[in-house]
Amino acid sequence: MTIGDKSNKGMRVKEAIRRTLILSAVAIPVGVCGCVAGVVTGDTPPIIFGAVAIAGGLTLAVMAALATRKG
């Protein structure tokens, strides 16, 4: 393995973390909108799916934050 490979590998990891944060940033508001829509219409499935999306988005955000820690 050369130095260039290590640098490239580090960039791929950073890119993956950035994309995970973007997915998380999209999933949380979508989940909130789903929950609100479910409450407004009185339907249970959008509330459940929205709660799952929020929980998944928060989990992804925590994982990405832990991946960026140094130590």
Tell me the per-residue pLDDT of 3-62, one tens digit each, with 9 for 90 and over.
555 667 778 889 999 999 999 999 999 999 999 999 999 999 999 999 999 999 999 999
- CA 58-16-26 angle, 5° bins: 40
CB 25 within 8 A of CB 52: no
Determine how many CB atoms are found less than 10 A away from the CB of residue 63.
13
Q: Which pLDDT belongs to residue 8?
A: 74
Q: Is the pLDDT of residue 1 over 50?
A: no
Query: With bands split at pLDDT 50, 70 and 90, how would you rate the model's confidence at 69?
Result: confident
Does the pTM surpass 0.75? The reply is yes
